[in-house]
Amino acid sequence: MPNRMVMKTEKVFPDNICQREKRRCFAPDTGIVEDLDENKKLIIYIKEVLHHMEEKVMRIPSQDSKNVVLRVIPGHFATSHSHINYFVDMTYLKARKSEAEAAAGVLAKFYSSNTYIDTIVCMDGCEIIGAYLADELTRHGFMSINAHHTIYVVSPELHGEGQLIFRDNMQGMIRGKHVLLVLATATTGITVRRAMECIHYYGGSIEGAAALFSAVKEVDGVRIRSLFRVQDLPDYQTYSPHDCPMCRAGRKIDALVNNFGYSKL
């Protein structure tokens, strides 16, 4: 058994993990007892590696609702369009019932009751927020030209080489409708622009755009309303991949990120 445990240890620790890092993991100041068996040490080490990024999470509460909290992780991250020094994690805002409902309540305040909204187009997995937002708008007397005086909540399909489309059975919810675009983050405005082009292509009229976090104020003349802005992260920076000072300084990328999450490197 001891021999097999030693073999397992050699396999679990990657070759690029230096001995200093292994010793640090088992150092007394981590609270690890010297005589722990190798299996427990491995479990502790793996947890430390897996939760390294999560331990750096900063929580920024919204000024509008105590249930709306922005979670950010500092580091060096790569999106499909840029490099950023913070990963803005929207997981709980999009997936936790209480937070999604609270976020929708704040977003609803940005739009006056004399605005027509027939359809909410959701990007980045914001459908739960979109549903609560539709409920908030309906309850506050927003007008709709839909036959049943309700609001559609839909998402485009990502097809082919990044092209956004609505299938034939969905197009009636866009064509001739007053559309509110909802997305998780607007870093450079590229995703917002692609979504608006898609809505226009299928005959929709854009009444507004709302984001949970936005680093841009407007895209093609459409104001981006957001729960959190760069003012909430004063040192938030976004760079072109070819002009990233962190890359020039030789700092490795911590993770690849998009609006659904991150993948550590």
The pLDDT value recorded for residue 43 is: 52
pLDDT value of residue 38? 56
Residue-level pLDDT at 49? 44
Gap between the Cα atoms of 182 and 194, Å rounded: 13
Rounded distance between C-alpha atoms, residue 227 and residue 186, angstroms? 12
Question: Is there a contact between 206 and 192 (Cβ–Cβ < 8 Å)?
Answer: no
Q: Which long-range contacts does 134-139 make (Cβ < 8 Å, 24+ apart)?
A: 135/104, 136/104, 136/105, 136/107, 136/108, 137/108, 137/111
- Among 31, 69, 25, 32, CA closest to 51: 25
pTM for the complete prediction?
Answer: 0.74
Sign of the C-alpha dihedral computed for residues 60, 110, 120 and 199 taken in this order: negative
Q: Burial of 205 by CB count in 10 Å (0-12 exposed, 13-18 middle, 19+ buried)?
A: middle
pLDDT value at position 193? 94
| Cβ-contact 182, 123 below 8 angstroms | yes
Taking the C-alpha atoms of residue 138 and residue 132, their distance in angstroms, rounded to an integer, is 10
Bridge pairing between strands 238-239 and 83-89: antiparallel
Nearest to 191 by CA among 213, 167, 173: 213
Contacts of residue 117, defined as CB under 8 A and 6 or more positions apart, other chains included, come to: 111, 137, 142, 143, 144, 151, 178, 179, 180, 207
CA atoms of 36 and 91, how far apart (whole Å): 35
Rg (C-alpha) for the chain, rounded Å, is 23
Nearest to 216 by CA among 241, 191, 245, 181: 191
Specify the pLDDT at position 147: 60
Residue pair 67/102 in contact (Cβ under 8 Å)? The answer is yes
pLDDT the model gives residue 20:
38
pLDDT at 123: 94
Taking the chain (265 residues) in consecutive chunks of 10 residues, what is each chunk's mean pLDDT? 35 38 39 47 48 75 86 93 92 93 94 84 96 90 70 92 91 96 90 95 96 93 92 88 95 90 88
